[in-house]
């Protein structure tokens, strides 16, 4: 069973490969992903690392939490399941506006 870790307070220069290499010291890294802003392409400053088992994940938390990378102290803990978000309002609706289908009288 794999264990997913949240890695926060990352320097904006950290990339997927950087996480992969740093966490490999604690075991097999199944995946490493730095979250990127869709519009700017810039790092959001956090990511996720999936270790191959819970023991390796705990070792990575103990070894990496608080470690300084590019001048920033990383926050590493178990990832929580993503919470459901409220649906976004599209803003493209049409308001009332008096365009009725009434009868014309001539």
Task: Break the chain into its structural domains and give their ranges.
Answer: 3-78
| pLDDT value at residue 83 | 82
| pLDDT value at residue 101 | 57
DSSP code for 74: -
Write the DSSP string, 26-61. Answer: GS-EEEEEEEE-TTT--EEEEEEEEESSHHHHHHHH
pLDDT truncated to tens, each residue of the chain (106 aa)? 569 999 999 999 999 999 999 999 999 999 999 999 999 999 999 999 999 999 999 999 999 999 999 999 999 999 988 787 777 766 555 555 555 555 665 5
| pLDDT value at residue 87 | 77
CATH class of 3-78: alpha beta
Cβ–Cβ < 8 Å for 36, 12: no
């Amino acid at each position: 069973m794999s264990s997913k870790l949240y890695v926060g307070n990352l320097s904006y220069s950290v990339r997927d490969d950087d996480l992969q290499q740093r966490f490999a010291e604690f075991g097999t890294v199944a995946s490493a992903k730095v979250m990127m802003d869709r519009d700017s392409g810039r790092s959001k400053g956090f990511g996720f690392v999936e270790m191959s088992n819970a023991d390796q994940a705990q070792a990575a938390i103990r070894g990496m939490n608080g470690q300084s990378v590019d001048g920033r102290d990383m926050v590493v803990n178990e990832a929580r399941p993503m919470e459901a978000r409220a649906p976004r309002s599209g803003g493209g609706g049409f308001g009332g506006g008096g365009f009725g289908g009434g009868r014309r009288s001539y």
